[in-house]
């Protein structure tokens, strides 16, 4: 199984729903990550302002920040290899890297209450 690590620039939150306006790209990314995690795909995400130690502890991101500065963020690492810098993976890139269909990125909506026979 592939392991994805996303290193975000410093921001108040990763969802994109804080502040005066919603960032649709951060909202898309949060939705994709939640859906992947619900399908038991390992995705770790670190924010420079709230989890700086993760940036120090990871040799790859540490070296990248030392050589290129924080303008390189966000950075996505898959199985210890940098796959994208300066912007987040697109849905298509997630699918290609993980060898999954685009349906895997969508929420699986529950039908009814989930009880057998529809009776709780």
pLDDT in tens, the chain (120 residues): 789 999 999 887 766 566 677 788 998 999 999 999 988 899 999 999 999 999 999 999 999 999 999 999 999 999 999 999 999 999 999 999 999 998 888 776 544 455 555 454
pLDDT value of position 109: 55
Q: What burial letters (b/e) apply to 20-51, b meaning 16+ CB within 10 Å? A: eeeeeebeebbbbbebbeeeebebebbbbeeb
Read off the pTM.
0.83
Q: What is the pLDDT of residue 27?
A: 87
CATH code, domain with 62? 3.40.30.10
**pLDDT value, residue 111:** 46
**Cα dihedral 76→78→83→87 (10° resolution):** -20
Tokens encoding 92: 């298509």
User: What is the predicted pLDDT for the residue at 94?
Assistant: 96
Domain tally, the chain: 1
Structural domain of 74: 4-118
């Amino acid at each position: 199984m592939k392991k994805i690590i996303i290193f975000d620039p410093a921001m108040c939150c990763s969802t994109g729903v804080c502040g005066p306006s919603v960032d649709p790209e951060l909202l898309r990314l949060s939705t994709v990550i939640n859906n992947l995690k619900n399908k038991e795909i390992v995705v770790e995400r670190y924010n420079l302002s709230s989890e700086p130690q993760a940036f120090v502890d990871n040799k790859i991101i540490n070296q990248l920040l030392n050589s290129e500065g924080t303008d390189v963020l966000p950075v996505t690492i898959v199985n210890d290899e940098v796959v994208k810098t300066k912007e987040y993976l697109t849905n298509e890139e997630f699918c290609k890297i993980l060898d999954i269909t685009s349906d895997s990125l969508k929420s699986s909506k529950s039908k009814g209450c989930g009880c057998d026979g529809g009776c709780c």
